[in-house]
Homo-oligomer: A and B are copies of this chain.
Amino acid sequence: MSSSPLEDRLGLRWPLLQAPMAGAQASAMTLAVSGAGALGALPCAMLAPDALRRELAVMAASGQPYNVNWFCHTPPVPDAAREAAWRAALKPYFDELGLDTDAVPTGPGRAPFSAEAAELMAECKPPVVSFHYGLPAPALLARVKSWGAFVLSSATTVREALWLEEHGADAIIAQGLEAGGHRGHFLPTGRPEAKTAPSGGSARREAGERGGDCGSDDLSEQMGTFALLPQVVAAVRVPVIAAGGIADAAGVRAARALGAQGVQVGTAYLCADEALTTPAHRAALQSPAARHTVITNLVTGRPARGIVNRVMRELGPMSRAPSAFPLATAAMAYLRTQAEKQGRLDFTHWWSGQNASGCLSAPAAEITRGLAQGWD
């Protein structure tokens, strides 16, 4: 077993990362995976401040390496007309269920990384901090690096990988389009290669200038792992972590053959004992239904991969109707919750990558050891 910079730097037995999965796991999973010798992740985008403080404290007390994960989107300016259009698009479903679109509570959806979050983290000094949607503003990133955190972010194109390397990522997750959950896509599609890319914020503003979220909704540059991974490896000097479609030790070996120095796995952990996944979600993952996933923006407003459901089939899977990320979440979450109370799963989203064949009902440590055989 040859060792990679990731293992040396992070004190891991294998350069295997459990993908952060907001809503589907908390620190119980992180502890189990890190305890087994890989790197567990703590997704923070959906945690209220109290829960965040508690979860960080649990991990800090563990003495294990761990990866604290944030979304670093720029929160959109609420747009009443757009929200009205989104609710109008969903109204037939509200009507069908006897619900009122005016009853949708406003919710935070997913909180972006912030100065407050950085200060909370500074108390625990997590050894690894990862971001989705680029990187935070330079001053915030510097604060994270001030305690020596190793910083990761996801690239879905070669251009994004070059941008992340230039802006301070210590390693890059090459997220092939097989991956479940939110696409890390953060640079607008179709621009010429930019050696001096704009900052994350202005890139997103540029995307905005092209028409709302369209920049990030154009998926045509997104590549499968087989194509993305070797091209990212060839383009950057920092270590590259493969993600997307890796479900077992054979997948780990394949990713290593393509130049990955580490591997990130999400879907294969969704049926772990420590996962917060519902019984229905687990059943879907372990059935042929999991072979039909789609990338949809109907759940949160930004593209994410999950098992196709009725609303994705009827309105999308991609649509111009949703409010901007993460505002679209409120109406869809209300619809889902109320439908579930009526015993209906038409609006329930079940995140999954394109390869759910590794979804074992087993302790996360056992799943970790199975994947780690890819380094034998």
A interface list, Cβ under 8 A from B: 157-159, 176-178, 189-190, 192-193, 220-221, 223-228, 230-231, 234, 244-248, 250-251, 253-255, 257-259, 288, 291-294, 308, 313, 317, 353-355, 357
Contact = CB atoms under 8 A, between A and B. Distances in A.
A233 to B, nearest CB: 9
Contacts of A246: 226
A189 B293 CA distance: 11
A98 to B, nearest CB: 28
B234 A357 contact: yes
Given A190-B308, A254-B258, A223 B157 contact: no
Given A220-B317, A224-B354, A357-B230, A193 B254 contact: no
A329 B311 CA distance: 35
Copies in the assembly, this chain:
2
A220 B370 CA distance: 30
A53 B157 CA distance: 44
Given A223-B178, A294-B220, A230 B251 contact: yes
Contacts of A308: 190, 220
A227 B192 CA distance: 30
A82 to B, nearest CB: 25
Contacts of A353: 227
Contacts of A248: 230
Contact of A288 (B178, B193, B230, B259): B193
24 contacts: A158-B288, A158-B291, A176-B226, A178-B224, A220-B294, A220-B317, A221-B291, A221-B292, A223-B354, A226-B244, A226-B251, A226-B254, A226-B255, A227-B353, A227-B354, A228-B354, A230-B248, A231-B355, A231-B357, A250-B257, A251-B257, A253-B257, A254-B257, A257-B257
A158 B357 CA distance: 12
Contacts of A294: 220
A242 to B, nearest CB: 9
What secondary structure prevails in chain A residues at the interface with B? Answer: loop
B291 A157 contact: yes
Contacts of A357: 230-231, 234
B220 A245 contact: no
A226 B244 CA distance: 8
A327 to B, nearest CB: 25
Residue among A220, A288, A313 with max Cβ neighbours from chain B (10 Å)? A220
Residue among A190, A224, A244, A292 with max Cβ neighbours from chain B (10 Å)? A224
Nearest to A353: B227
A292 B220 contact: yes
B176 A224 contact: yes
Nearest to A255: B254
A78 B61 CA distance: 71
A288 B161 CA distance: 14
A247 B230 contact: yes
A156 to B, nearest CB: 12
Residue among A176, A244, A294, A353 with max Cβ neighbours from chain B (10 Å)? A176
Nearest to A224: B224
A273 to B, nearest CB: 24
Given A159-B291, A177-B224, 7 more contacts: A158-B291, A193-B288, A224-B225, A224-B245, A224-B354, A230-B248, A250-B259
